[in-house]
């Protein structure tokens, strides 16, 4: 067996990192497409439930029940993840929360678009506060996870 030179190791590491980055980009694209399909399916099912029931089931109620189910599924998925994956998961949730903050800021500025944007303004402010807490907590958890890997000084 021949030993690898540092250059060979570095090149193999770079190749592996490039492959991992491509795989992550493909996974992100697939996740975005799946999310778009889920939203489209949710809208279709909500409209179908309303049409089948003759308007008795409001599409809002149907969508709310899907949202509540998503909360439970998300809870169990997050708590079943191994501790080694918590830091990457927090970075993804921070990215999602940053998108939520942009939407919340738009809702807070609803008065600019519509003179009667009071409820949108309050919901936007509430969403802005929750997303900010989520991002701050994500950074704290990430900092704690990374601190676990630092060597302690003696």
CA pair distance 106, 127, nearest whole angstrom: 11
On the question of pLDDT at 71 being above 80, the answer is yes
On whether the CB atoms of residues 83 and 128 are closer than 8 A, the answer is no
CA pair distance 123, 57, nearest whole angstrom: 24
On whether the CB atoms of residues 110 and 86 are closer than 8 A, the answer is no
Q: For residue 16, what pLDDT is reported?
A: 80
Choose among 42, 73, 34: nearest CA to 59.
42
In the chain, domain spans: 1-80, 83-149
The residue behind tokens 């049409």 is 51
On whether the CB atoms of residues 79 and 72 are closer than 8 A, the answer is no
CA pair distance 79, 70, nearest whole angstrom: 14
Residue-wise pLDDT for 88-138, tens only, equals 776 777 777 788 888 888 777 766 555 666 777 788 888 888 888 888 887
On whether the CB atoms of residues 138 and 90 are closer than 8 A, the answer is yes
CA–CA distance from 87 to each of 17, 42, 95, 113, 114 (Å)? 18, 30, 13, 39, 40
On the question of pLDDT at 72 being above 70, the answer is yes
On the question of pLDDT at 1 being above 70, the answer is no
CA pair distance 102, 127, nearest whole angstrom: 10
Which one has a higher pLDDT value, 84 or 136?
A: 136
Residue 46: CA count within 13 A, CB half-sphere: 16
Residue-wise pLDDT for 4-57, tens only, equals 787 888 888 788 878 877 777 777 777 777 777 777 877 787 777 777 777 777
């Amino acid at each position: 067996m021949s030993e690898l030179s540092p250059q060979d190791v570095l090149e193999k590491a770079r190749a592996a990192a490039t492959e991992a980055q491509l795989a992550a980009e493909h996974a992100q694209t697939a996740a975005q497409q799946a999310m778009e399909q889920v939203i489209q399916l949710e809208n279709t099912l909500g409209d179908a439930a309303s049409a089948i029931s003759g308007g008795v089931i409001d599409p809002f109620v149907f969508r709310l029940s899907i949202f509540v189910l998503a909360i439970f599924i998300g809870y169990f998925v997050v708590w079943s993840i191994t501790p080694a994956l918590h830091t990457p998961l927090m970075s993804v949730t921070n990215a999602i929360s940053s998108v939520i903050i942009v939407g919340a800021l738009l809702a807070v500025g609803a008065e600019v678009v519509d003179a009667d944007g009071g409820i949108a303004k309050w919901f936007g402010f509430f969403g802005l506060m929750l997303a900010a807490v989520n991002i701050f907590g994500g950074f704290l958890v990430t900092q704690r996870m990374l601190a676990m890997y630092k060597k302690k000084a003696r």
